Structure 1
Amino acid sequence: MLLEKMRNIGIMAHIDAGKTTTTERILYYTKKIHKIGEIDDGQATMDWMAQEQERGITICSAATTTYWKDYQINIIDTPGHVDFTAEVERSLRVLDGAVAVICAVDGVQPQTETVWKQADEFKVPRLCFMNKMDRIGADFFGSMKDVQEKFGVECLALQIPIGEGQAFEGVIDLLRMKELRWNADDEGETIVESDIDESRMADAVTWREKLIDQVASSDDELAELYLDGQEISVGQLKAAIRKGSINRTFVPFVMGSARHNQGVQPLIDAVIDYLPCPTDIPAASGIHIKKDKEETVEVPCDVSKPALGLVFKIQYDREMGSLCYVRMYSGKISAGTQVLNINKKKRERVNRILRMHADKSEPLNEVCAGDIAVFVGLKLAQTGDSVGSEGFPVLLEKPVFPQPVISVSLEPESMSERDKMNDTLQILSKEDPTFTYHEDSETGQLIISGMGELHLDVLVTRMKDDFGVQCRVGAPQVTYREAVTSSADCTESFSKVLGGKENTAGITVHVEPREQGAGNSYSCTVRDNNIPEEIYEAVENGFRSSLDSGINYGYPCTDTAVTVTGITYSEETATTFAFEACAAQAFDKVCNMASPQLLEPVMNVDITCPKEFVGEAMSQMTQRGGMIMGQDSKASGDIIHAQAPMAKMFGFSTNLRSATQGRAGFSMEFSHFQVKAGGFNS
């Protein structure tokens, strides 16, 4: 397959905007499936997990490949719920383009903002599909204006609607100046094309002029033709729109109703016409680690160059083990060959390569640059690992995932279940980087942590249903953090006689706070050739373990910088054990000198409710120590933006529903950590 004929796209949106429904229609019209599955019936192809079918939501991003007009389209359908933000993040990292599905009634919703910002971060070109045009209150132009105002992007309407809401009949294609309607008798397969009705001609001409004006202002060649009053062909217009979309000068808009099979084929055409192929986007950059010093290098998308790919997702399969989803950036990898896991510096064999279709697969002989496939047989690979060849050891940028903010305790039903539970937790944490677990050193309880109540509920249900682990779940607890608030220095020495042998070590260390959200850092400013490398490794291990186990309360540290400024080494008595222990002692001592504080997670909360209940909803929020940050008005109701401590948000759903007669809902995502008022016992 030529790279020019390949598209790697993601479907992204707010929960319930219609991502999975749109994907189902794309698969149906491209003949990938022969029957449309509905989410409401639990039959959607891409929602293949039992829980996705029961809950009617997308939990994990599913990958599939389909073909349209000789083009290969790799599609990743991502979740819309904020608890599964990591799934969206890692998908956008490896995609070349994205389709943002926007509800024509509600316009930009809170999670749309989150995924849009993520797409901006990875510089992903996108186009918009205005869905639910046949719903009461649908407003194409209003919702498009909402996108323009919220994201500061230039919106380019490629179509205008024929009627809106229940009067929605079809669209006017502004490039070809034709009316398009979809035949309901054959599930929208037949598109009825006709000339534009006179009553709509004036509007169509106005919007086409606007389209040409917008495109010409970003394309010199087109601007010249436009100013000379020359005719601009559809081909020239498409080429200029493609260029502008890839450069993110503007965002093209198409529309329809995926549920009622309207507008999907022009959306697939728009994906091919306006979203980039793997060679249209800038070359990926990575860090070459074999040179004397680490150096940033570009990785052009070229099949003839050395092999390099990124593991962006891991999924456990009962029969095949770990399925590693890999985006190839350079070269090619064949089934049955060995690859180097560059992060782990270990060789592994790729037993099989698969092309995935949700939970089904077909074997491939090889996978080339620009493509996405699944590797079977990599036992050491984790999300974010780079795989390739020893001749080109380049680390592609590792995805950064948000910190877990909520925890529950987990107990096996019997002691015989404990090993099974630990094995299952290991598999789940490898699959999902935002899910962690550890044993509480004081209580001996096993604590699991995640992004929200739904996230942990889904994982515990998977443990019970998919892995057959019988366990009891404790009440949710907040995952706090610890951090220093000032800088301090100290020197610590360690001396102990073990087995008749003296073990000594000495370390001088400096700690200081980092800016909010920067995370922890460790560095060593002393380097002595007489000190073996394993001593430096022991010191680093000691400090990194201490950062994970906290200062006073056992919660992990955050935003703390540790710098080793001195090492006292004796060739006769120095041991790695002594230096690791000394590092732990020095950490406790220096951090307690640097005014440590307990931090609590603060959440961004978006409440959607009818106008008449805004007062009650705000009152519920302020009673929990929340701060109202702003408010938006939409046709379907108001959205209240607030921030509140996670600890105060348990049970909020029940109270909010009671106060608003069950008509309000809310979504919540992590914002930042702040100093907990009143300390630990408040």
Structure 2
Amino acid sequence: MSQLAKEIQKRKTFAIISHPDAGKTTITERLLLYSGAIRSAGTVKGKKTGRYAKSDWMAIEKQRGISVTSSVMQVDYDGYQVNIVDTPGHEDFSEDTYRTLMAVDAAVMVIDSGKGIEPQTKKLFEVCAMRGIPIFTFMNKLDRDGREPLELVAELEEILGIDAYAMNWPMGMGKNFYGLYDLHNKRVELTDVTGQEEGTLIPLNEDGEVEGDYSFKDSSIYTQALEDAQLLQEAGNAFDEEAILSGKLTPVFFGSALTGFGVQTFLDAFVDYAPSPGSHVTEDEKIVEADDERLTGFIFKIQANMNPAHRDRIAFLRICSGRFQAGEDVILKRSGKKIKLSHTTQFMADKRETTREALAGDIIGLYDTGNFQIGDTLYQGKEVIGYPPMPQFTPEIFMKVQAKNVMKQKSFHKGMEQLVQEGAIQLYKTFHTNDYIIGAVGQLQFEVFQYRLKEEYNSEVILTPMGSRVARWIDPEDLDLKLSSSRNLLVKDRFDQPLYLFENEFALQWFKDKHPTIELKKLL
């Protein structure tokens, strides 16, 4: 194995996914704490302590207690470099999360043990399944009373269609949460509810029982956990590392991100069994190995104003192969131009430090003056490399947008341009008047857009709802301005490609029947 391959083996890159409020950002904080990256864990709603979650760096995230953008954190843990991507849980920001899932090698799925599988969890799981990436499941909030563990695991298998293997098993929950019966490590890990010191580890004997004189052994909670564990070992799935790596078996862990109980046990197992960076398939179906000497990668995210004082713009690059070194030239596949990567950074959410070197599996930030777009491939060498395009969503809700103060047109246009390049909001202009129209998948995106224009660009805007519309692109050769009406409004996207915004499905069908020669496309 080459030196490059050995170094790449020490990378673990994963995204954390969940339904909103399942505890995704809180578990991220715990992972940072146990890696030594931070001294005390923040919370999503940190008003009393002033310690907000490290991954929630935007003002609106701290204000509303939600994650609205993916954030990247890189930490060292147990000899590995772990690249953690905390994603938005809210469905209105699914597109950001979907793209992020294209850039990771594994996913951690956080489930609220009181609620089980929720709709957004199912959607995100399906994206992971489509890619075949390994999924590690963390059943969270054991510090509260929730649903029966056996019921949760059964639901996981039934709804998501994946086999599950319980790595550990809860002994009680809520006020009677005694700890974890650790099947994988053959031990019991106790909370302080039992009268023992919190975190006490007691080995199991060959029969899977705790030896010695411990008061908790007389409890029905321990007895029940023992019975459940024996049932799982007899009737449940076997531990299969190959099935985990292929995304067919999910290891299941229980714990509480808020108290931190069970999180370190989870993290220890994760770095042992999660995959290191592997090969990537190009758009012409060639395979590029991670330890290929050529530097290749793709842009999966663009973020404006991570440093509001400098009005900067960062393009997030997932390195797929080779070794990045600052100052090197790469080729931007879309334009064929050479670009020098001299200003680069690595992340701790909004905190950054200049990076001189990075390897396949790492995610680095490129200071961008407008060169990059989401989905761009960067590569070195004579052979042209192009990775598949990023997934795109067709907007469903539309708003007309105009500056409240006509004297601040410059900041308005700059803010519009930069925020639209992040990919969450789509920008259109009417053909006749060049009025701005923005489209999004969900209402919350408009609220974040409006907030950020005001806070980051000092530009207040007026949003006028247009309601739901059906967007369909057309060939420029079919362009006929006379066909535009209120029911099928003709506009152009930010690349000047024409499309219709149909009032509803009925208007779309009527247009198809009336103009059968005009081909309508969902996306270009």
TM-score computed with the length of structure 1 as normaliser: 0.65
- Map of 1:310 onto structure 2: 298
Q: How far does residue 428 in structure 1 lie from its aligned partner after superposition?
A: 0.7
Query: Does the 8 A contact of 2:171 with 2:225 survive in 1?
Result: no
Q: What does 1:13-412 correspond to in 2, within 5 Å?
A: 13-41=18-46, 43-182=52-191, 191-195=199-203, 196=210, 197=217, 200=222, 203-204=225-226, 207=229, 210-211=232-233, 216=238, 241-279=240-278, 283-287=279-283, 295-302=284-291, 304-317=292-305, 318=308, 319=310, 321-377=312-368, 379-412=370-403
Rounded Cα–Cα distance in structure 2 between residues aligned with 1:336 and 1:211: 54
Query: Does the 8 A contact of 2:113 with 2:139 survive in 1?
Result: yes
Identity over aligned pairs, percent: 25
Change (3 A) 1:336 1:190: farther
Q: How far does residue 135 in structure 1 lie from its aligned partner after superposition?
A: 1.5
Q: How far does residue 362 in structure 1 lie from its aligned partner after superposition?
A: 1.4
Higher strand share: 1
2:294 aligned partner, one-letter code: P
Q: How far does residue 348 in structure 1 lie from its aligned partner after superposition?
A: 1.6
Rounded Cα–Cα distance in structure 2 between residues aligned with 1:556 and 1:473: 18
1:306 aligned partner, one-letter code: R
Rounded Cα–Cα distance in structure 2 between residues aligned with 1:549 and 1:414: 33
Q: Deviations over 1:558-584 (max 9, x none)?
A: 9xxxxxxxxxxxxxxxxxxxxxxxxxx
Q: What does 1:527-542 correspond to in 2, within 5 Å?
A: 542=476
1:17 aligned partner, one-letter code: A
1:309 aligned partner, one-letter code: G
Unaligned runs of 5+ in 2: 1-5, 204-209, 211-216, 494-510
SS state at 1:48 partner: coil
- Structure whose alpha-carbon radius of gyration is higher: 1
Rounded Cα–Cα distance in structure 1 between residues aligned with 2:481 and 2:86: 34
Change (3 A) 1:189 1:321: farther
- Map of 1:473 onto structure 2: 463
Query: Does the 8 A contact of 1:139 with 1:164 survive in 2?
Result: no
- Map of 2:425 onto structure 1: 435
Q: Deviations over 1:77-113 (max 9, x none)?
A: 0011010001110111011011100011100011111
Q: How far does residue 360 in structure 1 lie from its aligned partner after superposition?
A: 0.3
Query: Does the 8 A contact of 1:180 with 1:191 survive in 2?
Result: yes
2:282 aligned partner, one-letter code: G
1:342 aligned partner, one-letter code: K
Q: How far does residue 474 in structure 1 lie from its aligned partner after superposition?
A: 1.8
TM-score computed with the length of structure 2 as normaliser: 0.83
Query: Does the 8 A contact of 1:480 with 1:598 survive in 2?
Result: no
Query: Does the 8 A contact of 2:395 with 2:471 survive in 1?
Result: no
Query: Relative contact order: is structure 1 or structure 2 higher (C-alpha 8 Å, sep ≥ 6)?
Result: 2
Rounded Cα–Cα distance in structure 1 between residues aligned with 2:474 and 2:358: 37
SS state at 2:116 partner: coil
Rounded Cα–Cα distance in structure 2 between residues aligned with 1:176 and 1:549: 71
Q: How far does residue 116 in structure 1 lie from its aligned partner after superposition?
A: 0.7
1:204 aligned partner, one-letter code: L
**Residue 554 in structure 1 maps to residue 494 in structure 2:** no
Rounded Cα–Cα distance in structure 1 between residues aligned with 2:77 and 2:197: 14
Q: How far does residue 393 in structure 1 lie from its aligned partner after superposition?
A: 1.5
Unaligned runs of 5+ in 1: 217-239, 288-294, 483-519, 523-541, 559-588, 600-671, 674-682
Query: Does the 8 A contact of 2:28 with 2:86 survive in 1?
Result: yes
Q: How far does residue 328 in structure 1 lie from its aligned partner after superposition?
A: 0.8
**Residue 463 in structure 1 maps to residue 453 in structure 2:** yes
SS state at 1:394 partner: coil
Rounded Cα–Cα distance in structure 2 between residues aligned with 1:114 and 1:550: 37
In terms of mean alpha carbon deviation, does 392-401 or 409-418 score higher?
A: 409-418
Rounded Cα–Cα distance in structure 2 between residues aligned with 1:591 and 1:394: 42
Match of 2:516 among 572, 591, 594: 594
Q: How far does residue 136 in structure 1 lie from its aligned partner after superposition?
A: 2.4
Count of matched residue positions in the alignment of Structure 1 and Structure 2: 476
